[in-house]
Amino acid sequence: MDDTPGVIAVSCFDRVRQAIAAETLQRLVADGRVHPSRIEEVVSQVTRDVNERIAKDGQAAVLETNLRGLHPKVIETMGKLTFRTSYGQNVLKHSIEVAFLCQMIADELGLDGTLARRAGFLHDIGKAMDHEMEGGHPAIGVEFLRKYGEKSEAVLNAVGGHHGDIPATTPYTPIVTAADAISGARPGARRESMELYVKRLQQLEGIARKHRFVDEAYAIQAGREVRVVVDAKKADDAYAFQIAQEIAKEVEKEMTFPGEIKVTVLREVRAEATAR
């Protein structure tokens, strides 16, 4: 608890435990009975509910991706990723998305789409337990999958090598790497930290404001568009078009961003008269 009235922040290295704590607090506050025995009762109830959700989400993800032969522990662990996010992107949904992207790429290349889908689905499984074990999530994922019966060396190499930690021995590893990047980089998929987000918007507006005859610049749509207002008395229509092109080129040169940024220059002429 901090100094903000009516706000309790719950933080934990284990996202499942964090979810249990947050739900427990919400139920206790709603119920109004807060004492040791009631807290223990609600924690037990919420823990059961969360474990049921983990199992349900894991099974649903496996059904959606139409994968067979996965150990129940692997399915359960994938379900835990429903509580894990990466820059705001839900890791379980990301894994499903990567699975289908891998299949599409493999099919286009004449490779085994089912095998690619399996590798893509499992590529981030190590993130469900990287707080419990030493090492990065690719290595943790490989060790875990070996333990629970994953036989495909192509899948294991893709899981361990999708961040370049080990050399790729099959074409499925670069396929997973590409699909992972596509899923994470698409507009709206991931959220930056607030500090980086604000800095990027300020940089975008600053690039626009340093041009001649610019009165104001506003970054909108989470930085995917910048609207530039120019002085209509000093800038003509041709200059408005020219400055839009110049700003776009400077943004491409000076900034790194996913997707695209639209530059809109506004030159507004107002005529006013007063009737008495």
DSSP string, 28-87: HHHH---SHHHHHHHHHHHHHHHHHHHHHHHHHHHHHHT--S--HHHHHHHHHGGG-EET
Q: What integer pLDDT is reported at residue 67 of this predicted model? A: 95
Q: How many CA atoms lie within 13 A of 251 on its CB side?
A: 28
Of the candidates 124, 62, 60, 128, the residue with the CA atom closest to the CA atom of residue 98: 124
Give CA angle at 160 (154, 165), nearest 5°. Answer: 125
H or E element, residue 115: helix 113-122
- Please tell me the distance from the alpha carbon of residue 263 to that of residue 82, in angstroms, as a whole number: 37
Q: At a CB cut-off of 8 Å and minimum separation 6, what does 43 contact?
A: 20, 24
> Which residue shows structure tokens 């104001």?
216
| Phi, psi values for residue 85, rounded to 5° | -125, 155
- Please tell me the distance from the alpha carbon of residue 111 to that of residue 257, in angstroms, as a whole number: 32
Q: How far is CA 240 from the centre of its chain?
A: 36
- Please tell me the distance from the alpha carbon of residue 102 to that of residue 108, in angstroms, as a whole number: 10
Residue pair 228/243 in contact (Cβ under 8 Å)? The answer is: yes
Q: Which positions of the chain have pLDDT values less than 70?
A: 1-5, 187-195
- Please tell me the distance from the alpha carbon of residue 75 to that of residue 148, in angstroms, as a whole number: 11
Residue pair 243/229 in contact (Cβ under 8 Å)? The answer is: no
- Please tell me the distance from the alpha carbon of residue 58 to that of residue 117, in angstroms, as a whole number: 16
All structural domains of the chain: 61-185 (1.10.3210.10), 194-266 (3.30.300.20)
Residue pair 269/232 in contact (Cβ under 8 Å)? The answer is: yes
- 266 to 96, 200, 208, 213, 246: CA distances (angstroms): 42, 22, 12, 12, 15
Residue pair 199/235 in contact (Cβ under 8 Å)? The answer is: no
H or E element, residue 237: helix 237-254
Count the neighbouring beta carbons within 10 Å of the beta carbon of residue 48: 11
Q: What integer pLDDT is reported at residue 130 of this predicted model? A: 72
